[in-house]
Structure 1
């Protein structure tokens, strides 16, 4: 069969949809919206293989609307504008049959690409349905997010996945011709990782690799066939991000065993050695920072080394670095400080630099008071003098808080001796 099993048995009606009862059950939000014919712009957020695309297609079918589909992987602003022009030409904003535009993996669109959707969504030319495996709070621009309702899709439960297998056997015309017995399904469920599409792909692989006659599905049989034919890490697909996430969180959580395991998963899957090293470089500053400044040096040296050497020897260098970072003291204080500072800038805007901190390269600037009353720190005891460095409107604002570790405890004492009365260290 050229068409994959997951596509052949894709539900066409909301009643046939498995799982997500909070959305598609009798009292589900989407069920009521489809019944009323009032569909707002939506963002579906959930793990891969939980039916985001299927839901979009069902909504379009049952609401009898024109349906356009794009993938953020291979589409750009030109493609978006072409569809918007078609929607405008069809008079979308003046009809109840407003066209639906489904964008898969919308988190992969750049800011400018997402910006190109704003006017069409706001003016009602299209109804947008975006699908993402990433947190839309971080990956979808605020202006677009504010115009959409976010619906969370949950991973399939064991019961959901078993029901999916039974449906495939009963409803698919190809599998109906087979004599299939599901004696054991644990291996199938484990390999799926809660991903319905992956479950059906592995199941179909096992069926096609089995000899003719009665097919008895057992865990041993599934693992033997799957390990021969499948790569359980797709470096170009959605699982890529899940494994990287587990990798980073294991290091952040100071578990070298789990960290090296996820590293091995990426290496065995053929992940780009520089991608792994870049992630370690970011983590060394974000999650360790000044609790152990050497971590950044270690990660940078690792990046340089593996870039020069490549596989297979780079696995040893990566492992050394991963173990070092995982067993290092942790602090996200610098990361939190820049987040706080950026948020403060967004809230307060372009505050003027205090006069005493301004540069005065010209006579006019000096006459205007630029640089007046600035106190040169090295002229004072311990190279320090108490003075104001923040704009007047945000004086005494605490932005950096040292972490609770040996090195930053020393930092806290240093700051307390100088800034206690101002910042409260």
Structure 2
């Protein structure tokens, strides 16, 4: 596309591309925007160096005119978007890229690969933290995905309310708080469970969390309290009927005087399992596979479409795809969250060509990210986490239901 547009003279036309989802994953009531910060970091380094250009030349992917253009590439346009951590709905213009066609079109894969992954993880994580309410969730999915995806997933999960991660690189790179426990291999390494528990307590103190389901849970709990004392930090359950076991372990811990010892459960949890376990004395959840695979929706299904372009007379014209089942709506979009006087969201209102009318209780959603090629969005990961909490809290209560349903608020268009 770039080569042909450079050749025919349309590459420099002013254009507007938008990233949005035509629908939410089946049965979901809202989604969560994540990956914005990572995208802006990647965009700052998005260049075509000698090695990339040599490959394109050797394999005759593009002509010399295009190679020269790519060698000098540096994005110089404007980008608007939903703040990271914001909830979104079908049609929400999560990202609006305003530049020349050439500058914007080459960003498609960069934009979608980051936003589709991180948004899918954050959307799943938000359902999990909603189900857990005030009980902490730990991200533990690094062994179930690509090594770089694991780091990104930990970051996205933290935005959506997870408190910690077992991925140390996410801690180093993004500042996500880290934690972890021993695996069954540590217990099996030692001659008996007593030796394993004693070693862990000697190394990390009585506040550590001991894994108590390698052999026999009641025996392990009794041994754990004997070794660490009533100040034992926590025990972890990873198999069996977790709800019933948690109840039995809580009763046993209390009878041994370890009334403050926490019970953490793991074992392929998702939002539905977490919701069920809320009926028991569980203090925290470790979530792995289901989180990093989006709990059944490993991609957010976002697309990146040209919605407006410059005419030969210099005016801008909305353009849209008309094919069956993949319709898009032409024109540059603006968005606000319509709220009632109590601050509860009622609709996602999308203005086409101009901002929709604010009735006094509404909240504008698009914020500037890049202006004239320069980054202006400086929100931190903590800001994104706060934004997620605030935006989810303004949704109607049905947003937290685990049952399948339609988006919790409708998307309305104004022109």
TM bucket by the smaller chain? under 0.3
Between Structure 1 and Structure 2, the one with more helix by share is 1
TM-score with structure 1 setting the length: 0.24
TM-score for both structures, normalised by structure 2: 0.24
Question: Greater strand share, 1 or 2?
Answer: 2
Compare relative contact order (CA 8 Å, sep 6+) and give the higher one, 1 or 2.
Answer: 2
